[in-house]
Amino acid sequence: MTFHDLYETYPYFSIDVKKEQEVLRNHDLIVFQHPFYWNNMPPLLKLWQDEVLENGFAYGENGKELVGKEFLLSITTGGSADTYTAEGQNKFPVTDFMRAYEQMCSLCGMKWNPPHVLHSSRQNGHEEIYVHANKLKDFMSTFIERGHL
């Protein structure tokens, strides 16, 4: 299992594409964990996605490197769960904002798993954070038990 902090690794946004592709090749589960910025991923992760998941590697005629790998999204939102409703400030459920991630998985042949979302992240105490972390841990443990890691 590898924990990979893009902002620590690439503080100047100069991504080593081949190194990142090798990391992806060596793992059966890919987890994106980040705060949800303006209903999207942080800028460095978007750049990473654009550069690393290139045609011929992740998709396209010869792009089969990620086929069959599992994908999990773990995000934190500043807003509460009720802001992600038709009546709420964001007008849509948080899962509606996941379409780009789902499409990425579809294009790359990865298996989409329901996202893990921690709402109201700035207001949560240790208990809520631990519950979120334990849900991720349980998912990964199940993944390991199935013989993937």
How far is residue 19 from each of residues 10, 15, 16, 52, 148, measured CA to CA in Å? 12, 9, 5, 9, 22
The answer to whether the predicted template modeling score (pTM) of the entire model surpasses 0.95 is no
Q: Which residues pair with 49 in a beta bridge?
A: none
pLDDT in tens, 10-23: 999 999 999 999 99
In a domain, 6, yes or no: no
* Residues near 4 by beta carbon (within 8 Å), at least 6 away in sequence: 23
Residue 107 lies in domain:
23-145
Q: Within a domain: residue 4?
A: no
| Structural domains in the chain (count) | 1
Q: What is the pLDDT of residues 12-62, one digit of tens each?
A: 999 999 999 999 999 999 999 999 988 889 999 999 999 999 999 999 999
Domain assignment present for residue 35? The answer is yes
Q: Is the pLDDT of residue 147 over 90?
A: no
* pLDDT score recorded for residue 10: 97
Segment 87-140, tens digit of pLDDT: 999 899 889 999 999 999 999 999 999 998 988 877 777 888 888 888 888 888
pLDDT for residue 146 is more than 90: no
CATH number for position 41: 3.40.50.360
Q: Is residue 7 domain-resident?
A: no
58-77 pLDDT, tens digit each: 999 999 999 999 999 999 88
Q: What is the pLDDT of residue 90?
A: 87
